[in-house]
Amino acid sequence: MNTELIGQSWDKLAPRQTEFIDAVYELLFQQHPHYKPLFSESIQREMAKMVETVAMVARVSGESEISHPRLIKLGERHSPLQLNRGDLENFKTAYLTVLKQFCPEWTTECELSWEEDQSLIPGMLEGLKVAKPRTLEIRDISTRTSVRNQLLGTVTEIKARMYHGEVILTLKGGETLLAILTLGSIKKLNLMVGSQAHILIRAPHLILVKADSKLKFSTANCSH
């Protein structure tokens, strides 16, 4: 494997690296549309980091003491997306396809050098396996609660409004709940599509009505 060729091909992309990153994810979403809901605008920076880290690791893949820890960390950061080997293979295919289009002097030797770098997927998989669940501990809650009003689900959508954000949480059974938080709270909790989160129901009263009832409620106060 020629790591010098890998470094040279990436360096030549310097003026177009932002365009390259956008093109990689555009192709990935085009080939695998089911990935798109996993990525919200709030993690565009993480997407760029992944592409840039892949290039850096490929350049120093012969120095495992440098590349391996970075790949593990990259895997940990993407653990909320619950990726597997097949997903990483799909990303690598899209990455190399776009790289070939963007490199002005792409050769067979250059392509083989990138293809032969097999450290990416095992390293990230190790990071995905050892990653610790994010924000799953509940401490210092100044209210009495029980397992009946603690609900665990997965964030499936985040809508940013002018002064607040709406977080859609999907429970294990498929039910959805909407939580309204400040934009600062969403950032502080590091919530993103794919993250697991707890919802605590603290209201002193709940109103239960039949599904065919003619009563009208705000959708923000209803679960499905």
Give residue-wise pLDDT tens across range 158-183. 888 776 888 888 888 888 888 888 87
The domains of the chain, with CATH numbers, are 3-130 (1.10.490.10), 147-221 (2.40.50.100)
140: left (phi over 0), alpha (psi -120 to 50) or beta: left
d(CA 114, CA 153): 39
Is pTM beyond 0.75 here?
no
21-80, pLDDT tens digit by residue? 888 888 988 998 887 777 665 556 666 666 666 666 555 455 455 555 666 666 666 666
Query: Which of the residue ranges 6-20, 97-111, 144-158, 199-213 would you say has the lowest mean pLDDT?
Result: 199-213
pLDDT tens digits for 185-222?
888 788 888 888 877 776 665 565 555 656 555 555 55
d(CA 169, CA 181): 13
pLDDT at 136: 41
Whole-number pLDDT of residue 120:
59
Residues 6+ apart with CB under 8 A from 26: none
The neighbour count for residue 204, using CB atoms within 10 Å, is: 4
